[in-house]
Each structure stands twice: as C-alpha cells, then as structure tokens.
Structure 1
Amino acid sequence: MSNDATVFVVDDDQAMRTSLQWLIESTGMSVQTYESADAFLSTYYPGRAGCLLLDVRMPGMSGLELQSYLEREGYRLPVILITGHGDVAMAVKAMKAGAMDFIEKPFHDEDLLRSIRNALDYDQRTRANRSAKAEVLMRLAELTPREHEVMTMVTDGKSNKEIAAALGVSAKTVEAHRARVMEKMRADSLAELVRMAMIAVPESM
C-alpha cells in the first residue's frame, strides 16, 4: 500500500464523515472528507493515489452520478459505495459499471477497512502497471519501422531464418536488427522482450 495514498470520503452526513475519518485514520491511513460530489471535484486532480468512499444517496450529484462522471473523464480512482438497504440494486448496477465494492449500512468496521485496503492495493498495482506500460511504449517509439517488424516476429516465436525469408533479407541482417531491438528495448533476454510486447498490447485488445 502506497504511503501517499489517500482515502477520499464523500458523504453529506457530517456525523458519518467524522466517524469514517476517525476509523480510517486510526489505522494510519490518510483521509480527506467532502460533504458533496462538487466539493470533491473542486479539489481532486487526476493522478492522485488512493480510493473513493462514496455514499450512494446525496443531494445534488449522487454517488452513482459522481462515479459515472469519473468514468467518463477517465479518472481511474477505485470506488467503494456505502449503501442503505434500499440502495442495493443501485450498488450492484454501479459495481457492474466498475465500482470495486459496496458496503451496506450498518457495517462492521473491519469489513469496511478490508474493502479500503483492497482498493488501495488495487490502485497501487494498476498505477505500477500503467507506469511500466508507459516506459515500454517510450522504448518502442525509439524503434525504426523495420525494427518493429523484427520485434513483432521475434516475439511471435519466429526464428532468424524465418524472419529473413519473410522480409527478404539475410539472416545476418536480421541478427543486427534483433541486437538493436534488444538494446533499444533494454531487454536482457527474449523472455523479457516478450513480456514487454505483451505489456504494450492495447487494453481494448
């Protein structure tokens, strides 16, 4: 769990906000509370590590509407919903739309804290994955079109001889391209190069 991660609590009930802040801070986690979705959006900026603890029913923009807004804007903050008994159907719908969990009132403190820790761990993992992907894409951008071709065929398992035949060049030329690919990608082994190729695959694929 990242030390700079923050649990953002959005709930219009002041007593609930105070209670949640005390509970979460008692475990050493950082907390920021907001009385409305608008108040949260006025201070939050994309890229901040953490998770969002949202009440489903609030005046103005509801928790579900805030979740939808964040999704449309591409904010990748994990969302946990706090729901009353009558909100379960909405919470299930929200989970299908990407929320990580929903906690029903009244809830056990440990259930909520476990959900928060899971969300923070997930946020940390996905941030690390995005950082690794960005680094790989930067290295890929340094390759020439021919080196891209060679890398694609190498990571598809083709031999130098097969690549040479496909490209109409000598095996020695393929070896030279392959060496430059390994150097530019900073790959110490074929297995590492394959891993990088997999990281670079678009998420929609």
Structure 2
Amino acid sequence: MPRDRPIYIIDDEPQMCRSLEMLLALEGFETQSFPSVEAFIRDLPRLPPGIILSDVALGGLSGLELLQTLPSLDRSDPVILVTGHADIPMAVAAMKSGAADLLEKPFEAQRLLGAVAAVRDRILQSTLLEQRLASLSHRERQVLRQIVEGLTAKQIATRLDISPRTVETYREHLMRKTGATSLAQLVRFAVEARVTCVPL
C-alpha cells in the first residue's frame, strides 16, 4: 500500500521528533516535524492532508486542543495522540474529540506502526466508499435518502411517484454499487458519508 499521506509529528522534544522520523522513514513514510501546535497551525494552509502524531502535553496549545480546533480550520486529518500520563478522563476526552488513537509513552515501535496502519486502512475504506457513492445516479441517491429516513418501499414509491418494484430495483443497485451486504450496512455507509442532503 503506498505511503501516500505524510505524517506530521508535533512534539517539543527534538530527540523524540528525530526518533519518530527515523522509525517512520524506515517504513517509507514522508514526515515533517513541528515543535508546537502553534507552529503546525501556521504551516497548515500549505500542508497536504496527512496523519497527525501529536504529543498531548506541549508548551502552548495541547494536542487535545489541536484535535478540537481542526474542524474550524477546515481540516479532517486523523490525529494520533501521544502522552506520558494517560488516565481515563484524558482517554475519554480524546476519543470524544475524535482521536484516532491514544498511545502512552513509552510505546513499542510496532504499537505506533499498528496505529498508523489502522488509520491508513480507515482512510482507504472511506475513500473507496466516497468513490462508490459518487457513482450513484440522482434517483439512486434520492432512494437512498428515503431508506436512511426509514421509509418502506411502498412509502418511497409514493413519495417519488414510482412503483414499489422500481424501488426494490434501485435498492438492489445501491447494494451492488456500495458493496453493502445488508440494509443496515447500506444505511451506515450513507450516514457516514452524509448522503442525506439530496434535494427531492
């Protein structure tokens, strides 16, 4: 699998940055290090989407604050947080804020590489799903929206002025195009991709 996303390391310990850079470079990753969240945010507009590996406790803004700030900066880069003092409240706060993982120092190299691999797998699956959903016709997306709303085939048919059998045909197309193996999975795919803002 190509290492197509750079990894941005945010840590105020130069030695830690160098160690992580060497480890990740050996695995074929492009890396760039920053001494603070503020420095990273300054450079963010020119940085391509990547995977962020940030210490929690930094001199200025924390890694957790970065995680909470990213959406307002119109970025959705996955964030793996690293901390020397993990506790349950911090873990809960990290997960609620959308952290991809929380690693406690000292951690083994394989633990970090496993966390990065898991993030990359999720990115790949999300990209594939976006591509599949992009291939849907306007009518298929309309039917999918009604399915997500919980309507039956008969109700969808009435709302869209088509026959129930046509609705079933569209549903079969949706299952095939998205790769969903069940109606529940189809709905989950649609919700994850926010396929609900389709005009009727």
TM-score by length of 2: 0.69
Question: What is the Cα deviation at residue 10 of structure 1?
Answer: 0.7
1:46·1:75 contact (CA, 8 Å) conserved in 2?
no
Q: Max radius of gyration: which structure?
A: 1
2:6·2:31 contact (CA, 8 Å) conserved in 1?
yes
2:3·2:28 contact (CA, 8 Å) conserved in 1?
no
Q: How does 1:11-160 map to 2 (within 5 A)?
A: 11-45=11-45, 48-85=48-85, 89-136=89-136, 139-140=137-138, 148=142, 156-158=152-154
Q: 1:11/1:69 Cα in 2 relative to 1: closer, same or farther (>3 Å)?
A: same
Q: For the residues of structure 2 that align with 1:128 and 1:83, how far apart are their CA atoms?
A: 32
| Residues 1:193 and 2:159 are matched in the alignment | no
1:49·1:124 contact (CA, 8 Å) conserved in 2?
no
1:49·1:123 contact (CA, 8 Å) conserved in 2?
no
1:83·1:91 contact (CA, 8 Å) conserved in 2?
no
1:77·1:123 contact (CA, 8 Å) conserved in 2?
no
Q: 1:43/1:127 Cα in 2 relative to 1: closer, same or farther (>3 Å)?
A: farther
Match of 1:184 in 2: none
Q: 1:121/1:5 Cα in 2 relative to 1: closer, same or farther (>3 Å)?
A: same
Query: How many residue pairs end up in the alignment?
Result: 177
Give ranges in structure 1 of 5+ residues lacking alignment.
Answer: 182-186
Q: For the residues of structure 2 that align with 1:47 and 1:121, how far apart are their CA atoms?
A: 21
AA of the residue aligned to 2:173: E
Once the two structures are overlaid, the 10-residue window that deviates more, 124-133 or 43-52, is: 43-52
Match of 2:182 in 1: none
Q: Sequence identity, in percent?
A: 31
Alignment deviations for residues 105-149 of structure 1 (CA, whole Å, 9 cap, x no partner): 11111111111111121122223323443453xx42xx5xxx957
Question: What is the Cα deviation at residue 18 of structure 1?
Answer: 0.4
Question: What is the Cα deviation at residue 88 of structure 1?
Answer: 5.8
Q: Describe the SS at the equivalent of 1:44.
A: helix
Alignment deviations for residues 123-177 of structure 1 (CA, whole Å, 9 cap, x no partner): 22223323443453xx42xx5xxx957x959x9544xxx94xx48x8xxxx58xx
Q: For the residues of structure 2 that align with 1:73 and 1:134, how far apart are their CA atoms?
A: 25
Q: 1:45/1:191 Cα in 2 relative to 1: closer, same or farther (>3 Å)?
A: farther
Q: For the residues of structure 2 that align with 1:192 and 1:46, how far apart are their CA atoms?
A: 40
Moved over 3 A (4+): 45-50, 71-74, 86-89, 130-136, 155-158, 193-205
Task: Name the Cα RMSD after superposition.
Answer: 3.7
Give ranges in structure 2 of 5+ residues lacking alignment.
Answer: 179-185
Select the structure with the greater relative contact order (CA < 8 A; seq sep ≥ 6).
1
